[in-house]
């Protein structure tokens, strides 16, 4: 088993970095989405140097993952083939892309984004997440997972950060559309407004009290699911 860092020459003097896997006579490539720009200035050269360091860290991390599987050090039951990239070697890894994004992200909600990705890893129970797996069904199931494990508006907040991360991939042209589009997110404040409206109706129309009570129960149940 071996993992090496490779370079692919692109147009206009740019270079794309990838990992080259060799295992049991099979070779696969995994492009990291890290592009080196032409070293036309000291600033560009410094940026490229930092990008190469990041790529080397990713390579070292991948090698540790292989060794963890070999010596059964993982809590997650993985095999070598779970860690190997898919045959579609040009499919980016969502976790790597978001890791790169967070390295340069310094807004106040950074901890919340990290927490969201932590739950995503717990949900998938895999080391890698090719962006091709991010379908609408996947996103709906992840939202249900968040609702099952978190309370209040936290699941909605985390899911919005997940949606933001996908939008970053779209900006880089690594995805063509956002699979979370069309998934309605109902927060507790919306449910509260609906309940207050029903209560008003409940007091003004006594004959509707039984129906109103049922509707309030259904709204609360939906919010807690």
**pLDDT tens digits, residue range 35-66?**
899 999 888 888 888 888 888 888 888 887 77
Question: What percent of the chain lies above the pLDDT cut of 90?
Answer: 30
pTM over 0.85: no
How many alpha carbons lie under 13 Å from residue 213 in its C-beta half-sphere? 5
On the question of pLDDT at 196 being above 90, the answer is no
Residues of the chain with CATH 1.10.150.130: 91-183
Instruction: Work out the number of other CB atoms within 10 angstroms of the CB of residue 59.
Output: 19
pLDDT at residue number 10: 87
On the question of pLDDT at 109 being above 90, the answer is yes
Exposed, middle or buried, 62 (CB in 10 Å: 0-12/13-18/19+)? buried
How many alpha carbons lie under 13 Å from residue 140 in its C-beta half-sphere? 7
Q: Which of these CATH numbers, 3.30.9.90, 3.50.50.60, 1.10.10.410, 1.10.150.130, describes 91-183?
A: 1.10.150.130
Instruction: Work out the number of other CB atoms within 10 angstroms of the CB of residue 55.
Output: 19
Q: Are 118 and 200 in contact (CB under 8 A)?
A: no
Query: What Å distances lie between residue 75 and 63, 91, 109, CA to CA?
Result: 17, 26, 29
On the question of pLDDT at 97 being above 60, the answer is yes
The overall average pLDDT reported for the chain is 79
pLDDT at residue number 225: 44
């Amino acid at each position: 088993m071996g993992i090496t860092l490779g370079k692919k020459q692109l147009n206009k003097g740019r270079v794309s970095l990838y990992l080259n896997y060799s295992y049991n006579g099979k070779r696969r490539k995994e492009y990291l989405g890290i592009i080196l720009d032409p070293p036309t200035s000291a600033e560009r050269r410094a940026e490229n140097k930092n990008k190469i360091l990041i790529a080397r860290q990713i390579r070292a991390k991948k090698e540790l993952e292989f060794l963890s599987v070999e010596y059964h050090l993982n809590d997650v039951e993985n095999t070598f083939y779970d860690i190997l990239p898919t045959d579609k070697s040009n499919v980016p890894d969502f976790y790597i892309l978001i890791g790169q994004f967070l390295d340069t992200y310094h807004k106040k909600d950074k901890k919340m984004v990290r927490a969201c990705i932590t739950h995503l890893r717990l949900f998938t129970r895999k080391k890698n997440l090719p962006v091709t797996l991010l379908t609408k069904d996947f996103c709906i199931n992840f939202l249900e997972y968040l609702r099952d494990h978190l309370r209040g508006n936290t699941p909605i907040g985390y899911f919005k950060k997940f949606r933001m991360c996908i939008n970053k991939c779209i900006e880089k042209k690594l995805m063509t559309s956002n699979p979370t589009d069309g998934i309605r997110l109902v927060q507790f404040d919306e449910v509260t407004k609906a309940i207050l409206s029903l209560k008003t109706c409940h007091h003004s129309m006594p004959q509707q009290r039984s129906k109103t009570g049922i509707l309030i129960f259904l709204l609360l149940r939906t919010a807690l699911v």
